[in-house]
Structure formats: structure tokens, C-alpha cells
Amino acid sequence: MKSTSQDRLELALQASNEGVWDWYVGEDPIYYSERVLGFLGHEAETAPNIITKAKDYFHEDDLPDFEHALQNSLADAGEDILASECRYRHPDGSWHWLRIRGIAVRDAQKKTTRMVGSIIDISQRKTAEIALEEERYRLRELIENIPVNVYYKDEESRFVMANTSIAKRFGAQSGQDLVGKTDHDFFGKTHADTARADEIRIMQLREPQINTIQRETWEGKEDTWVEITKLPWLDRKGNLLGTFGITSDITSLVKTQRMLTSVAEELQKRNVAFEEELQLAREIQQALLPQSLDGLVLRGHDREVTFGCRYSPASEMAGDFVEVMPISQDCIGIFVCDVMGHGVRASLVVSMLRGLMEKERDSATSPEWFLYGINEGLVSIFERASVTLFATAIYCVINLKDGTLNYSCAGHPAPITVKSGESRQLSPGNGNGKPNPALGLISKATYSAQSVSLDDTDRVLIFTDGLHEVEDAAGEEMGIERIIATMGASGNDDLETCLDTLLDQARRHAADGQFGDDVCLFAMDVSAGA
């Protein structure tokens, strides 16, 4: 009959879902309980000695840890306890996580003669732990790489955790450098005291502070502006630990808004003498109308690009314009734009766009970011003015060094290219059939760019919709397909003749021989350099 102690042991092992193993050191046979045999997927007669043959059954990544623990237990002056977690290859080919525990039985000379222990399958727990660790890793990666400041502070407003973004903003290498410090270590006293008071209120009332714009005063640095969100930091039981928050630097936005406010105030003053200023606007726009680009040539890197332009405004205050932006000796930017409508509003938007283009010159080599910056400025202006306007545009960068034509369209017709007499229209969007939005409609809109090798084109045409939307007496538009066909047919003509042919064709199609909208054409020929 089993002893009470044996009964208790078996019941305890059964309750814990563990099994027993027993091995005499130096011998191959090993005893496994039924529970362990179930974990291993073997019968007693076929079960291997996973202690002595660990290399054959344990995952190579876990083997060093197990062998170290085993050797430590077998050593005369080693640890009595063997503890290891290993992946075991089951006979069905799958990996099972096993937690192996053992105790060394030593003789009078302290030599280990026997080891007895338990084994339990911990696959479910390990799977959950790995999944949790992966989730934590992904969350940490997000926090570390998003371009906003993320932080946690204790009840004394000392940093407990901070991401790399805020660390660099404070002049530190990593978030760990901020731990234990407070805003008083970085900001001027006035701002630091205000931040501390806000955090005390948040902790006392347990109410968040959402999307608040604050001015930051620094020690020895210019003031900055941020949009902050702070919340009370509670543990899972609701106990207060401190505060946490997200901060976004909006200094450039505030400066832009101030600049736009100044522009708006100036425009308001000019409304007092509207007629006089209107005449001035007409004169200024006439001065800014594109001059002839005949003869303009860009040479370099065994290539030569010649340019041509045609401009036919429908009124004195037109909304179409083209701008050529020299970027470097072998790189040039072309901006063609079509502002909604005509008259004073369209001409004012043209002026705003020219100003925004100057502001975005730092991104002039990247069409998608160039349009993004202009769109953000235009949306801000329109929102302040409570008007709904938009402009379509295309921005191209010709880079002779790279041999590329990079472009991005904002609701604008894509360029038409000609190669060896074959003409086609390029994609206006990001390759999935969706066009980029026009400028001035959607804040934070993203723009994709496309790239064309200069080796794959002989001629490129950029145009505004006044060309293909011209209607005949029956109300039928000329259409882009006719423009594509004309471009292909005039491949042997020089650039200026090609442009004149397009305008003549459109006028002949028009019911009254006149354009009902502004028309702007910009073309370029690509050839081998002399």
C-alpha cells in the first residue's frame, strides 16, 4: 500500500500537470512517469534519455542553456538544482516547450550519483509570453519612431520614460538620459512652473488636458510652440502613478500662421483702396506672365533639354501660370498650375502660390513633398478666409545627372510623352488608378511621385485643362486623346511648331475660335548632348 506521503506527492503532481523523471548518472536508462511520456510522445520502451541525448531532441538555441545548467548540477561543487526551459522536438515534428526541473543526489564525496525531477509542458504559456513580448516590442518600436514626443512622469513630474524624439529635442541621446529629470532641468522657470501646475491639476482631478497649444521658453534658446495632450497615469487597479502625454512641435505652423495673419491684415487694409489695388494687381500679374522660353537649354551629363512655352489667358486676371525653378547646375523644377475660376480671386491665389513656392524651395527636389508643403499652406489660407477654392498643379524635376524626370500631379492632367513617334499619357497618380487630390482641399493630403527615365522620352508636354476641354458647337470637348494623337503625329516637327500646332488645332475645334479658359502649354525636347 502506498504511503500517505506518496499519495500526496502524486496528487500534487497531478494537480500541477507535471510528471517525474529519475536518472542515475552515468547510465543511459531513465525513468519517466506516464505524464512525462505523454509530453514526450513516446511509450516507456521507446522513450529516449533527453538528459544525455539533449543534442538530438532540444532546439539548438536552447541547448547551451540546458547543457550549462546540467553540467553545473553534475559538478562536485555545483548547484543542487537543475532548472531549464527548452524546446523539445516531438515525434510529430512540432516543437513543444518543456520546463525541466531536477535535484542532484550526491554521495558522501559530494559527487552527483542521481538526479530526480519533474517535467511539464509549458507550450501554451511560452506562446503567450512570446506573443506578449512581440506586442511590447512593436509598441516600443512605434513609440520610439513616431515623430512626436511621448513620455511618462511620476507624481513629482520626474521623467520615468521618454522616447527618442523628446530626448533629442532636449539635447539628449536617448530617453534614458531624461529619467529622473524634470522640466525645470530644460525650460525656463515660468514655463516649467506652468507645466508642473498643469500636471498637479491633472493628477488631482484625474482629468486630461487635450490638444492645448503652449509656448515653451527655454534656457538659452528661442521660444517654441507645442500642441500637448496630457493624461493621468493610472495602473490597472486605478492607482495614480503620475502623468503621461504626447507633445508635437508646431513652431513652424505658428510662425506660418502669424505670417498668414500678417498677409491677411495687409490684404484687409488694401481693400480700402480696392480699385487702386486691383489695378496694381493687374500690372503685377502682367509682369509675372511667363516670358518666352524659346532658346532655353539645359545641358549636362551627355544630355540636352530644350524648352518651349505657350500661354493664352482667357482674361486679364488669369488663374493659369508656369514657373521655372533653377535648382542646381544640372537640375531644374517646372511648376504648372491651374487655379479654379478667373478674376481677382484666382489671381490672388496665384500670388499666394508663388509665395508658397518660395517657402518650399528646400523641398524643390522632391515633387511629392513640394506639393505637400504648398497644399498645407493653401489649405490654411482658405480655412482662415472661409472660402472653398482649389488649384490643380503638376511639379516636375528634370535631373540630368540622374537622367530622370520626376513628377507629381495634384488633380492635374498627367504629362504626355513621345518616344520614337509613339505618344502616351503618363499615370497621374500612384500607380493604383487613384489620382492625387488638388491643392487647397484636404489638409495633410499625401502626394505620390512618378519617375521617367530621360532615355525613354524624346518630348514631353505639360498642359492645363483649357486645352482639352475646349468645346465645339455641339458641346463636344476636344479631349486628351486628340492631343496624344497630335503629339505622336508631330514628332518630326520642332518644339515650337508642335506647340503652335496644338493651339491651332484647339482653336479650330472651338465653336467661336476662342478659348473659354486659360491655356498654358509647357514642353521640352530631350536629346543627346553635343
* pLDDT tens digits along 336-381: 988 887 767 777 788 888 888 889 999 999 999 999 999 999 999 8
3-state DSSP helix/strand/coil percent for the chain, to nearest 5?
Answer: 35, 30, 30
pLDDT at 431 > cutoff 70: no
According to DSSP, residue 23 is labeled: E
In which band, very low, low, confident or very high, does the pLDDT at 387 lie, cut at 50, 70 and 90?
Answer: confident
Quick check: do 146-249 and 287-528 share a fold? no
Q: DSSP assignment of 274-326, as one string?
A: HHHHHHHHHHHHHHHSPPP-TT-EEEETTEEEEEEEEEE-SSSS--EEEEEEE
pLDDT at site 5: 55
Q: What end-to-end distance do the CA atoms of the chain give, in Å?
A: 107
- What does the alpha-carbon distance between residue 19 and residue 100 come to, in Å, rounded to a whole number? 10
pLDDT at site 214: 83
pLDDT at 56 > cutoff 70: yes
- What does the alpha-carbon distance between residue 456 and residue 372 come to, in Å, rounded to a whole number? 28
In which band, very low, low, confident or very high, does the pLDDT at 14 lie, cut at 50, 70 and 90?
Answer: low
Pick from 163-172, 225-234, 257-266, 465-474: least confident: 257-266
Instruction: Name the pTM for this structure.
Output: 0.48
pLDDT at 45 > cutoff 60: yes
Give me the mean pLDDT over the 111-118 stretch: 92
pLDDT at 1 > cutoff 50: no
Topology adopted by domain 146-249: Beta-Lactamase (3.30.450)
Q: In 212-302, which residue ranges form alpha helices assigned H by DSSP?
A: 251-270, 274-288
The ranges assigned to domains in the chain are 4-127, 146-249, 287-528
Assigned superfamily of 4-127: PAS domain (3.30.450.20)
- What does the alpha-carbon distance between residue 227 and residue 210 come to, in Å, rounded to a whole number? 9
CB atoms within 10 A of CB 492: 8
**More confidently predicted of 257 and 443:** 443
- Residues 512-523: pLDDT tens digits? 888 878 888 898
Residue pointed to by grid coordinates 497621374: 428
Assigned superfamily of 287-528: PPM-type phosphatase domain (3.60.40.10)
Q: Residue 506: in which H helix or E strand, if any?
A: helix 495-509
pLDDT at 467 > cutoff 90: no
pLDDT at site 300: 85
